[in-house]
Amino acid sequence: MNYNFERYQQFISQVDELAEKLSTLHHNQMQCRKGCDLCCMNYRIFPVEYYAIQQSLNDKPVETAGANDNSCIFLKDSVCQVYAHRPFICRTHGLPLLYLNEEQWELSACELNFREFDDEEFSAENTFPQDSFNSVLFQINKAFIQANQLSYSEFDLLEIKDLHPR
């Protein structure tokens, strides 16, 4: 790999910083914690995320679970084995997400965290701007593919279940 993961790591740091801020802001509603694994699935992720996780597995292999259902292979005893290197989608789960759907802004919120809420309670200041971050990740991924001359298009997504410790 010719690609320096520094730009991706900076992006992840920004995601984590905002996610922590929002988790603190919504701490009364947030139920996410060790043991809550309902959103831990076999997601499809960008190649840059895939290879970043693969690199971490090369440095520190982990035991993976069988892919017998749609659960993430890195989920063991309800704990993520690659938590520090988890992809973007996993870092934002549980938070109130704001995104543009067709022609209107939509709010997505975990029903376990936000059991009773009114859309009017949420604003740009207390939600995660999913589209903005998705756009940045898309550009980082595109640069990653080009720098490494990979045979993926910038729209390709890879399944987490295909990652294996080496």
SS3 call for 114: coil
Q: Measure the CA–CA gap between 116 and 118, rounded to whole angstroms.
A: 7
Residue 138 pLDDT grade (very low, low, confident, very high; cuts 50, 70, 90): very high
Query: What digits encode the pLDDT tens for the residues 9-54?
Result: 999 999 999 999 988 887 677 677 677 778 888 899 999 999 999 9
Q: Residues with Cβ < 8 Å from 143, sequence gap 6 or more?
A: 3, 7
Residue 2 pLDDT grade (very low, low, confident, very high; cuts 50, 70, 90): low
> What is the 8-class DSSP label of residue 155?
T
Average pLDDT, integer, range 87-106: 84
Closest CA to 98 of 142, 70, 69, 131: 131
> The whole model's pTM is what?
0.86
Closest CA to 138 of 4, 56, 46, 76: 46
Average pLDDT, the chain: 85
pLDDT value of residue 1: 56
> What is the 8-class DSSP label of residue 26?
T
Q: Measure the CA–CA gap between 82 and 52, rounded to whole angstroms.
A: 11
- % of the chain with per-residue pLDDT over 90: 41
pLDDT value of residue 77: 85
Q: What is the DSSP annotation of 31-91? A: ---TT--TT-B--EE-HHHHHHHHHHHHHS-------SSSB-TTEETTEETTGGG--HHHH
